[in-house]
Amino acid sequence: MSQYNDSNYGQSSGYAPRTSVAAVASLILGILGLIQILPIIGSIAGLILGYAAKNEISRGNGTISGDGLAQAGIILGWIGVGLMVIGLCLAALVFIGAISVPFGFAFCDQAGMGSQIFGLR
């Protein structure tokens, strides 16, 4: 008779908690959002999935792992959102500058100050 029970062959006596799929997806989307492959959607989805994974892990009572992955996805998601906000602000400043410069020249020319300010003759 065999000393191994076929139903337990190859398994350890303890259990290994499964990794949260949402935590892995959060990390991947956070990375894709940060390196600008999915700039807006990746960062926001990484944040949502990261917080969902942290909730899932805390409710799992030790049966689900991946807290570090979820935390990394959240951090990368917030960095991506921050860079997106900075980029939008810079784009708005460039757009406002591009609109205001021609009007500034026109105002100076009407006031007769164009030649004095800009060195034009």
Enumerate the domain spans of the chain.
Answer: 17-95
| CA distance linking residue 121 with residue 108, whole number of Å | 13
pLDDT digits (tens, 9 = 90+) for 48-106: 999 999 999 999 998 999 999 999 999 999 999 999 999 999 999 888 877 776 666 65
* Tokens 């990375």 sit on residue: 31
Say what the pTM is.
0.71
The helix/strand count (H/E) of the chain reads as 4, 2
Q: Are the beta carbons of 61 and 15 closer than 8 angstroms?
A: no
Residue 1's pLDDT is what? 46
Residue 77's pLDDT is what? 96
Residue 2's pLDDT is what? 47
